[in-house]
Chains A and B, each alone.
Chain A
């Protein structure tokens, strides 16, 4: 299967090159048959990219540690679902997944463009640009990153998945974000060709707006989930800030927001005629305003966040005050140690009381990871304890534990939950507001 996947990757590179060449040639020579051949080439490139991606996923699920990329990012102690997610935990798999999603989005778009676009040359050039972008991404995967490179001998077990990625969000957040980025790339390619040819009409504007709104909705959802994940995991936060895919997605989201706001402001000069259309836009506007207000409330409350660095002996209490003036008491239940296959866990639990009323236990963990030989393979991770409420989040982070005492950071962050709700409102409202009006571009 790995051999078939590797061969498929190379065939996909060649097919993308064929598609780019024939589509461009079709546009230059005005040959419909060349353009059709180019479109088919793009479809075939997508199919072979999917085979390559499926092959890489199968290599992870079947524990093929003779493949270097699998041995570096998976292992016997990794759960089955995380084994699949491990496929996109590093650049090679991430770019291959992005290429597969882009190929899918571009193929669907190319089929539609060649059918409905009145300007056939613009359509031909757009397919050529799609194929060139896909070919470039696949060439980087095949020539530089090579996820199918074998090891000289099968090590029998892998290094394991980086613990920061052992989270349910890892299974769907990166694919969702990359799908959004792929749709954004399709929109950008369509716009770039149209502006380069100075051929912009109503139909294209409506298609661009619909495509940009799809990409915006996907990216908003993915980045919201990613932000929530990073909030609960300091290790993920550090990894995301360095990931080119996350940075590119955030930049694409900012650019799409700007574009859609400008288009909406221009379109709002002509009020919609249909009653349902006006209601949709009004609902979208209300949700966006409400979402923005909730997020602004969280940022306005940030200066009132309280942080305490507490050193608590087992059984003793620590007193703190939150932003709302409530008195908190944290009683240490002591540290407990747990040895699991692959990691050692040190946990400290606190029993909090607010104004004398007992609250649920809150615990923070420090995890150290090792292999059979006793080597530390990944940096130690701290898992914070978080109690979320509408008014504030209580966060406890374990810094150190030993000799009957623990050092912890206790933080009160006001209105954080409101910002997450506001983000969801903003995303839903934005899609309702930005979606093209019925009949837009028909003129």
Chain B
């Protein structure tokens, strides 16, 4: 494997890790209404609320 191929592979893996939180959030927002929210969703909601209502 050439150094450039190793670099490209590393870059792809890193990019996937970097954009994962954005897709993770979108997937959570795709949950149908009425579905029982899990503990993970609650934590995510709390986190988003904390951002939308920042401490002044």
Contacts and interface: CB of A to CB of B under 8 A. Distances in A.
Interface of A: 1-4, 7-8, 11, 15, 18, 30-37, 40-41, 44, 47-48, 51, 118-121
A48 B4 CA distance: 13
B45 to A, nearest CB: 10
Contact of B21 (A3, A11, A33): A33
Contacts of A37: 18-22
Contact of B18 (A1, A7, A18, A51): A18
B55 A118 contact: yes
Contact of A7 (B7, B20, B21): B7
A48 B9 CA distance: 13
B30 to A, nearest CB: 14
A33 B25 contact: yes
Interface string B1-12: 011101110110
B22 A119 contact: no
Interface of A is mostly: helix
Given A33-B22, A120-B50, 20 more contacts: A1-B3, A4-B3, A8-B10, A15-B18, A30-B52, A32-B47, A37-B18, A37-B22, A40-B20, A40-B21, A41-B18, A44-B18, A47-B14, A48-B10, A48-B14, A119-B54, A120-B51, A120-B54, A120-B55, A121-B54
A4 B4 contact: yes
Interface of B is mostly: helix
User: Is the interface on chain B under 10, 10 to 19, 20 to 34, or 35 or more residues?
Assistant: 20 to 34
The 4 closest A-B CB pairs, nearest first, are A33-B25, A4-B3, A7-B7, A36-B21
B6 A4 contact: yes
Given A4-B3, A4-B7, A30 B54 contact: yes
B32 interface: no
Contacts of A121: 51, 54
B38 interface: no
Contacts of A48: 10-11, 14
A2 B2 CA distance: 11
B31 interface: no
Given A18-B18, A34-B22, A7 B51 contact: no
Interface in B12-54: 14-15, 17-22, 24-25, 44, 47-48, 50-52, 54
Contact of B51 (A3, A32, A47): A32
Contacts of A4: 3-4, 6-7
A58 to B, nearest CB: 11
Contacts of B52: 30
A147 to B, nearest CB: 16
Contacts of A33: 21-22, 24-25
Nearest to A34: B22
Nearest to B3: A4
B55 A119 contact: yes
A32 B48 contact: yes
A41 B6 CA distance: 19
A3 B4 contact: yes
A328 to B, nearest CB: 62
Contact of B14 (A34, A44, A120): A44
